[in-house]
A and B are shown apart, each in its own frame.
Chain A
Amino acid sequence: MKERSLLAVRAPNWVGDLVMATPVLEAALASDAWREARIVVRAHLAGVLADGPCEPHLVPVSSDEDEADTYRRLRADAVLLLTNSFGSAWRAWRARVPLRAGSALSGRRFLLTHAAIPPTRAGRRLPTPTAHLQRDAAGLVGVLVHDLHPRLYVRDEVRLAQRAMLERLGLERESGYVLCCPGAAFGAAKLWPPERFASVLDGLHGLRGWRAVITGGPGEEDLVEAVVRLCAHPAVSLAREARDLEGLKALVAEARLLLVGDSGPRWYAAAFDVPCVSVMGPNDPAVTATSLELAAVVRVDGLECSPCLRKRCPLGHHRCMRDLAPERVLAAAIDVLGRARPDVPRPGRPHARPAA
């Protein structure tokens, strides 16, 4: 069909949302509705999409101004906004892209030529899985997404380099490990106390003999070191090592389990079919209720203030995290480790299997 020319897909700015969007990105590249598709992504996130079918089509942008210029330079006929911000719609409008499609969120509906309006109750938006919203928006530009399971790819060289780093830090080649990402770029409200992470990691070490490998994003070095210090077994710290989003893919893909807060690496685990336990505080579980086959989301039920979706606890007690006992998280980990891996063949899975 190839009836239209160039579709620019504006990829999300949050790591988790970006990984969730990978089925949409691949569907856009394969779509018959467009002669060509390009993926406009923040430069620091390009590593997430490296090594896979999206990589040759990436257009990294470094600033808001750069984004609008990119649309003009590409002469985009349409932009599919997988972001939810007003600013991204504003920049597409300013660049005079003729067709602007996305979810009608953040008061930006009037800037869009094609809008998907999420489900509501009594006029208020209902918490809807982000992956569903992304698929709804894609349908407006003729991109049909059949499977919402995220896909990531990682080169053998990256995997070998990460494994060599772990060996240098004292982790034996064939031994399994639990990867832990205790940080959260979103804000302090999503942080679970380091001593509880350490307690769960010690529990897993006692049960399975797997040492913990603890890592984090830029600025999370102290938190990583704190968890390592609090572990009773010799956990491996990556706080002083070079870390990036591409290397993290290899670390997750080879882990036996990922223990994480409510943050982006959770979706890495989903993409690689690695069992995952996510500790959730102020967020609404309905927003992330996709790809749960090998994931357990542990949270405190019944709190009147939750989910507040705030970056800092407005009441100061932080009970959504403080009341969450490590025993529950450990039990969830044991449960998720007992589940069978999904039997659906998926793109990217051959890269994803942990080494035998």
Chain B
Amino acid sequence: MSTLLSGRERVLVRAPSWLGDFVAAEPAIRALHEHAERAGFGRGVALAAPGRLLALLDGRFPTMQRLGITDERHETAQSWRERDVALLLNGSWSGAWRAWRSRIPVRAGFARGGRGALLTHAFTPARESGGVPVGLGKSGRFPRHLPRPFGAACAELLGWMGIPVAERRPRILVSARAREAMEARLARAGLAPGEPFVLANAGSRPGSAKGFPPEGFAAALDALARRSRLPVVIACAPGEEKAARETAGLAVLARTILLVDPPADLGDLAALSATAKLAIGHDNGAHHVAEALDTPCVVLCGPTDPRHTSENPPTTRVLRVVVPCGPCHRERCPLPGDRRHACMGRIEPARIAEVAAELLG
């Protein structure tokens, strides 16, 4: 495939709206911007994404235009007009529709969710066929898209547009001001200045299948307290406070510091992750943030296919169990009785503590 992008085009990049995918896409965004900069046209790149996610790139890519989205339902096509290329890293139909309505002549992205007809460069994602892959309880539904690390898929997409992604590790920078603000908040909560700590991202939406039960989380933190004397900072995102509070309340041995009032925004999360010795949490965006800051992670993986999270640094350990109903990718577990939430409930708290202690050295 010949080079499509010379670097002199006005490119609109629609970044993913999920935190984890956004972080995983950062190397591709960086490679695109560097490509344009080399051609002397860095200002030709515009990045559209939810405003709260764009804050993670504050202070970087100074020539890149930002198009913050506050409400995706009312995302206007106006700001997308007069572009040469739309590079759709997200998978939504509405993004392709908006690019088509904005009359952007080159619209490139993965052909998922029935949006292939709206794209000029529609790439059909990898698929799988045959038996249930080993280590899973069941296969995906038709069409069986092959679960792959999001960052790898983005790198392939950029490659097909003629831009190699040389550096594949996502990077996030935390400003000195954000670090200082977080240190001050931790000091008010009882942590001595410079004192090392473990970060427990223990929050989850009520009833979410991705959330590890608070009693299990607390047991894991207590088991870790028997091996390590580090205090544990328990944090969560807005809307996840209940699980975080319960975890803190149930932990008996661990010295916990609860940061839920107010809950952490993305700047707080990045500052916390950057200074923590270790982050323990669910298979959500928070661990991508911690990995991008070179912080070791223990990831508790439940209803999701482990192949999605298979690309991670050597200091990340993913814990999961094989259940016949998984991976289901459901927001809520539909099963009753003993089978309910078995993918998470069967992860042993002692095992979490053991792995965490190994990473702490």
Which residues on the A side are within 8 Å of B124 (C-beta)? 119-121
- The yes or no answer to B105 lying at the interface (CB within 8 A) is no
Check A117–B146 contact: CB distance below 8 A. Answer: yes
Check B122–A136 contact: CB distance below 8 A. Answer: no
Query: Number of residues in B with C-beta < 8 Å to the partner?
Result: 42
- The yes or no answer to B156 lying at the interface (CB within 8 A) is yes
Check B126–A139 contact: CB distance below 8 A. Answer: no
Closest A residue to B322 by CB, please name it.
A1
- The yes or no answer to B316 lying at the interface (CB within 8 A) is yes
- The yes or no answer to B231 lying at the interface (CB within 8 A) is no
Check A284–B146 contact: CB distance below 8 A. Answer: no
From A120, A127, A147, A301, B314 is in contact (CB under 8 Å) with A147
Which residues on the A side are within 8 Å of B322 (C-beta)? 1
Which residues on the B side are within 8 Å of A302 (C-beta)? 2-3
Of residues 1 through 59 on chain B, the ones whose CB sits less than 8 Å from some CB of chain A are 1-3
Check B134–A78 contact: CB distance below 8 A. Answer: yes
From A113, A136, A290, A346, B148 is in contact (CB under 8 Å) with A136
Q: Smallest CB–CB gap between B125 and chain A, Å?
A: 6
- Write the B123-153 contact mask toward A (1 if CB under 8 angstroms, else 0): 1111111110111100000000011100010
Check A142–B135 contact: CB distance below 8 A. Answer: yes
Which residues on the B side are within 8 Å of A289 (C-beta)? 155-156, 159, 164-165
Which residues on the A side are within 8 Å of B318 (C-beta)? 144
- Write the B217-240 contact mask toward A (1 if CB under 8 angstroms, else 0): 000000000000000000000000
| With contact pairs A140-B133, A145-B310, A284-B1 given, residues A293 and B166 touching in the complex (Cβ less than 8 Å) | yes
Closest B residue to A301 by CB, please name it.
B3
Q: Smallest CB–CB gap between A195 and chain B, Å?
A: 28
A-B contacts counted at CB < 8 A amount to 131
Closest B residue to A140 by CB, please name it.
B133
Check A117–B152 contact: CB distance below 8 A. Answer: no
Which residues on the A side are within 8 Å of B180 (C-beta)? none
| With contact pairs A121-B121, A286-B1 given, residues A140 and B316 touching in the complex (Cβ less than 8 Å) | no
C-alpha gap A104/B130 in the complex (Å) = 11
Which residues on the A side are within 8 Å of B169 (C-beta)? 344
Which residues on the B side are within 8 Å of A284 (C-beta)? 1
Of residues 268 through 326 on chain A, the ones whose CB sits less than 8 Å from some CB of chain B are 284-286, 289-290, 292-293, 295, 297, 301-304, 306
C-alpha gap A304/B152 in the complex (Å) = 28
Check A129–B133 contact: CB distance below 8 A. Answer: no
Check B1–A115 contact: CB distance below 8 A. Answer: no
Q: Smallest CB–CB gap between A244 and chain B, Å?
A: 31
Which residues on the A side are within 8 Å of B128 (C-beta)? 114-117, 136, 140
C-alpha gap A345/B135 in the complex (Å) = 28
Which residues on the A side are within 8 Å of B311 (C-beta)? 146-148
Closest A residue to B307 by CB, please name it.
A139
Check A285–B310 contact: CB distance below 8 A. Answer: no
Which residues on the B side are within 8 Å of A33 (C-beta)? 134-135
C-alpha gap A297/B165 in the complex (Å) = 12
Of residues 132 through 150 on chain A, the ones whose CB sits less than 8 Å from some CB of chain B are 132, 135-136, 139-142, 144-148
| With contact pairs A136-B148, A286-B1 given, residues A118 and B164 touching in the complex (Cβ less than 8 Å) | no
- Write the A76-92 contact mask toward B (1 if CB under 8 angstroms, else 0): 00100000000000000
- The yes or no answer to B95 lying at the interface (CB within 8 A) is no
Q: Smallest CB–CB gap between A332 and chain B, Å?
A: 12
- The yes or no answer to B213 lying at the interface (CB within 8 A) is no
Check A129–B159 contact: CB distance below 8 A. Answer: yes
| With contact pairs A132-B156, A301-B3 given, residues A119 and B123 touching in the complex (Cβ less than 8 Å) | yes
- The yes or no answer to B97 lying at the interface (CB within 8 A) is no
C-alpha gap A163/B136 in the complex (Å) = 49
- Write the B310-337 contact mask toward A (1 if CB under 8 angstroms, else 0): 1111101010001000000000000000
- The yes or no answer to A154 lying at the interface (CB within 8 A) is no
C-alpha gap A48/B214 in the complex (Å) = 49
- The yes or no answer to B281 lying at the interface (CB within 8 A) is no
C-alpha gap A293/B31 in the complex (Å) = 12
- The yes or no answer to A4 lying at the interface (CB within 8 A) is yes
Check B127–A144 contact: CB distance below 8 A. Answer: no
- The yes or no answer to B61 lying at the interface (CB within 8 A) is no
Check B134–A142 contact: CB distance below 8 A. Answer: yes
Which residues on the B side are within 8 Å of A129 (C-beta)? 155-156, 159
- The yes or no answer to A334 lying at the interface (CB within 8 A) is no
Which residues on the A side are within 8 Å of B134 (C-beta)? 4, 33, 78, 99, 140-142
Check A146–B2 contact: CB distance below 8 A. Answer: no
C-alpha gap A202/B87 in the complex (Å) = 43
Check A113–B131 contact: CB distance below 8 A. Answer: yes
Q: List 10 A-B contacts (CB under 8 A).
A: A109-B129, A120-B124, A132-B156, A136-B128, A140-B133, A146-B314, A285-B164, A289-B159, A292-B165, A302-B2
